Amino acid sequence: MHLIVGLGNPGAEYEWSRHNLGFMLIDRLAREAGAAVTRRECQSLVGSASLENRRVRLAKPQTYMNLSGEAVRCLMNKLAARDADSSLIVISDDLALPFGMIRLRARGSAGGHNGLRSIISSLGTNEFVRLRIGIQPEHPLSDTKRYVLDELPRSQRRELDGVLERAESAVRCILTKGIAKAMSLYNQSAVSSEE
């Protein structure tokens, strides 16, 4: 069984923040599967779903970003997973990617993301699949923390459904065809508003 974790921060004030794209994609996956991510377990909201005829667990850690690893480690232990890279998919935002671009990786560093850093530290490995969604600013930042916690502007909210739809398709591809095939299909340029 795959554990699919979307990273974000709990609380209504963060609902539309750039840092909550992971939560947004989990909500979309749950909605499309007719599932609810509402059960409290391991400092997370968790739900079971069927995606592409596969049972998955969807999770939104409620620990705040910097402590996401505590929740993920607990969930992984409960699933008794033998190796993280075949059973864990983590969804996060990424400041280094233009808005609308998604990037899949089978493993890798945290890339400056505090949630990924926490998960790598807690699991003791970077061998897990990650799907990153770009939030790169169009200008240099003086306050990165404020930027990621700010709400998406209206112009990007109009594009958000298309971005999340593409990311959802990528997750489904990982489940059916594996990470290598999904990377070849989805690690491309940003989604344009014309698509």
Query: In 12-27, which positions are buried (b, 16+ CB within 10 angstroms) versus exposed (e)?
Result: eebeebbbbbbbbbbb
Q: Which of 2, 19, 113, 139 is catalytic?
A: 19
On whether the 2-186 domain is CATH 3.40.50.1470, my answer is: yes
- Check residue 138 and give its pLDDT: 81
Give a three-class secondary structure readout of 12-30: HHHCCEHHHHHHHHHHHHH
pLDDT in tens, 147-178: 899 999 888 989 999 999 999 999 999 999 99
Q: What is the mean pLDDT of residues 190-195?
A: 41
- The mean pLDDT value of the chain amounts to 90
pLDDT in tens, 34-81: 999 999 999 999 999 999 999 999 999 999 999 999 999 999 988 864
Q: What angle do CA 27, 31, 34 make, to 5 degrees?
A: 135
- Would residue 19 show up in a list of annotated catalytic residues for this protein? yes
- Check residue 80 and give its pLDDT: 66
Residue 143 CA to residue 66 CA, distance in Å, equals 17
